[in-house]
Amino acid sequence: MPATLDTTFAALADPTRRAILAMLLEDDMAVTDVAEPFDISLAAISKHLGILAEAGLISREKRGRVIWCKLEPDAMRDASVWMQGFGQFDPIDLDAFEKFLETELGPTDTPAA
């Protein structure tokens, strides 16, 4: 079942989750690598990742003992279409989205893949 707009926007409302999405723009990451730059517990990061996954914004895959996270950019399509209906927004460009996030959140130090 596709995520609703409410679920998508609720997931995007949190700055930690937006920072995680910005990190995943670069490459797939292991959960522990996602957690590294944040000053919160691994359990809290896992909860954030669960919310992002529930919204369809990321997918998670277990490879051996490691869980990897991957950005699912098409998940924002419905939200983008909805915003375009107001005639004030262009389609979501992930490069522009990343620049926006960096402006809002400051540069993130993402671990090397």
58 C-beta neighbours (distance < 10 Å), count: 27
Q: At residue 71, does pLDDT exceed 70?
A: yes
- 97 lies in some domain: yes
56 C-beta neighbours (distance < 10 Å), count: 20
- 109 lies in some domain: no
- 69 lies in some domain: yes
Degrees to nearest 5, angle at CA 84 with 26 and 13: 50
The residue segments making up the domain with residue 29 are 5-101
- 111 lies in some domain: no
Structure tokens given for 27: 């490459």
52 C-beta neighbours (distance < 10 Å), count: 26
- pLDDT digits over 9-68, tens only? 999 999 999 999 999 999 999 999 999 999 999 999 999 999 999 999 999 999 999 999
Q: Note whether 58 and 70 are within 8 A (CB).
A: yes
- 27 lies in some domain: yes
Structure tokens given for 65: 């003992």
Q: Give the global pTM.
A: 0.71
Q: How many domains does the chain have?
A: 1
Structure tokens given for 42: 């691994």
User: Residue 72 sits in a domain of what CATH number?
Assistant: 1.10.10.10
Q: What pLDDT does 93 receive?
A: 73
- pLDDT digits over 83-112, tens only? 777 766 556 677 777 788 788 877 655 555
Dist CA 89 CA 97 (whole Å)? 12
